[in-house]
């Protein structure tokens, strides 16, 4: 099987060193409180957070964490990832920072975290970005990521509707359980930053608005804050979809099946990332009437205006390129949301919102080509110098 594009033909089968061939189709449920090795490899582990049951059976969320080795043995050869990071640092040097100042809740002792980061994924997605985890642990934070119910590591064989929800506040329980587990590890006074992508950015914005003490800051990576087009498109869509959702929330909508975004991301196509074939499939999960209605309800709430009291950083690509067929420009622009609409809508989030435009970025700015990824991390460093106490490269990170 192969796909042709404006960039030529490339086979859509796993590269020889593709690790996904050895990955389990579904994650095993852990014992309560136990951490098991994760598919991302050394330094990554996960634990299952039970969420009861629904009509399809067991529900859970999954918390992934990254622990940075205390020291790097001298005999260890640099990996491709470490060589890439070194090359990026030469091209785009990180701003020099004073010695980290302990964040509120951190002990301040050598090696103690400046706080924690919790990452939340988007639609038809899961946490896979080991580089993002290392960016934060290099700056002294304890890093965690949450795979929400019916997504990624939390997906089970009996889930007939991956990603389904009829109300975004259903994820409140997932976030609460994740924070409870994090605080049990990092301490009850540990403070955190939420980093959320796309639909996860919408979920996180609504959560932080309702729970102003949950995090010290919010970083949104191409958050899906409005339908493509404008609120007028949303109004029209609501009139069509909401009556269906009230009767049959799990009814699948007949939408175009596109693999444009997957092709720009996956190493099996034109991207750079090893993606789990079930957790981040080539064609996104089928959209249901209940799910899209829940998303539009969230958009409506944002449009009315939120009152998020913590500082918010919004990262988006400079341009969007939406289309039904793959185009080379999708490797350098957002092919999922309209960035101008989202940037305008982001001003409704709260009182302290900063927009950073990342030229050449894709929808997930942290999964873009190396140059825009480096620019996105540099934007966080600049913003963090003012808003995130203790943000800076750790003394032992130079190794």
Instruction: Go through the chain and tell me how many residues it has.
Output: 399
**Fold designation for 20-397:** Rossmann fold (3.40.50)
The structural domains of the chain, with segments of one domain joined by +, span 20-397
What pLDDT score does 15 carry?
Answer: 61
What pLDDT score does 391 carry?
Answer: 76
Those residues whose C-beta lies under 8 Å from the C-beta of residue 366, and which sit 6 or more positions away, are: 129, 131, 132, 197, 221, 373, 376, 377
Distance of alpha carbon 115 from alpha carbon 310, whole angstroms: 15
What pLDDT score does 258 carry?
Answer: 84
What pLDDT score does 227 carry?
Answer: 85
List the chain pLDDT tens, one digit each, 399 residues.
333 333 333 434 556 678 888 899 999 999 999 999 999 999 999 999 999 999 899 999 999 999 987 644 333 333 344 444 444 444 444 433 333 333 333 333 445 567 999 999 999 999 999 999 999 999 999 999 999 999 999 999 999 999 999 999 999 999 999 999 999 999 999 999 999 999 999 999 999 999 999 999 999 999 999 987 655 556 566 667 877 778 889 999 888 788 999 999 999 999 999 999 999 999 999 999 999 999 999 999 999 999 999 999 999 999 998 888 888 889 999 999 999 999 999 999 999 999 999 999 999 999 999 999 999 999 999 999 999 977 766 544 444
Query: From its phi and psi, is residue 167 left (phi > 0), alpha (psi between -120 and 50) or beta?
Result: beta
What pLDDT score does 246 carry?
Answer: 82
Sheet with 44-54, strands from edge to edge, namely 36-37, 44-54, 57-66, 141-147, 115-120, 192-197, 217-221, 312-317, 353-358
What pLDDT score does 99 carry?
Answer: 33
Distance of alpha carbon 321 from alpha carbon 221, whole angstroms: 17
Question: pTM (2 decimals)?
Answer: 0.84
Cβ burial of 61 (10 Å; 0-12, 13-18, 19+) is buried
Distance of alpha carbon 163 from alpha carbon 161, whole angstroms: 6
What pLDDT score does 325 carry?
Answer: 82
What pLDDT score does 112 carry?
Answer: 59
């Amino acid at each position: 099987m192969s796909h042709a594009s404006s960039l030529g033909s490339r086979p859509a089968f796993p590269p020889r060193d593709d690790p996904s061939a050895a990955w389990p189709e579904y994650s095993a449920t852990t014992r309560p409180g136990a951490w098991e090795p994760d598919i991302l490899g050394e330094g990554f582990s996960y634990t299952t957070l039970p969420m009861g049951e629904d009509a399809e059976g067991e529900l859970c969320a999954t918390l992934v964490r990254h622990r940075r080795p205390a020291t790097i043995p001298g005999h260890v050869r640099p990996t491709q990832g470490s060589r890439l990071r070194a090359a990026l640092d030469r091209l785009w040097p990180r701003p020099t920072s004073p010695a980290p100042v302990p964040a509120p809740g951190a002990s301040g002792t050598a090696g103690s975290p400046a706080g924690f980061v919790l990452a939340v994924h988007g639609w038809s997605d899961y946490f896979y970005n080991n580089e993002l985890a290392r960016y934060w642990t290099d700056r002294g934070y304890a890093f965690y990521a949450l795979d929400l119910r019916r997504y990624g590591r939390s997906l089970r064989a009996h889930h007939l509707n991956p990603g389904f929800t009829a109300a975004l506040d259903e994820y409140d329980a997932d976030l609460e359980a994740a924070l409870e587990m994090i605080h049990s590890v990092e301490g009850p006074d540990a403070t955190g930053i939420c980093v959320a992508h796309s639909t996860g950015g919408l979920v996180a914005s609504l959560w932080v608005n309702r729970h102003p003490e949950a995090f010290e800051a919010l970083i949104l990576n191409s958050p899906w804050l409005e339908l493509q087009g404008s609120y007028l498109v949303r109004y029209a869509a609501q009139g069509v979809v909401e009556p269906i959702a009230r009767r049959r929330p799990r009814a699948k909508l007949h939408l175009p099946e596109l693999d444009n975004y997957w092709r720009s991301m996956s190493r099996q196509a034109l991207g750079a990332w090893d993606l789990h074939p079930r957790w981040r499939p080539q064609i996104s999960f089928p959209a249901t009437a209940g799910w899209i209605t829940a998303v539009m309800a969230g958009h409506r709430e944002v449009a009315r205006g939120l009152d998020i009291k913590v500082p918010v950083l919004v990262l988006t690509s400079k341009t969007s390129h939406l289309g039904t067929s793959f185009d080379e420009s999708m490797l350098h622009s957002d092919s999922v949301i309209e960035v101008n609409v989202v940037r305008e809508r982001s001003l409704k989030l709260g009182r302290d919102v900063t927009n950073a435009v990342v030229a050449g970025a894709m929808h997930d700015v942290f999964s873009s080509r190396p140059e825009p990824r480096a620019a996105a991390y540099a934007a966080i460093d600049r913003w963090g110098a003012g808003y995130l106490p203790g943000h800076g490269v750790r003394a032992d990170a130079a190794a």
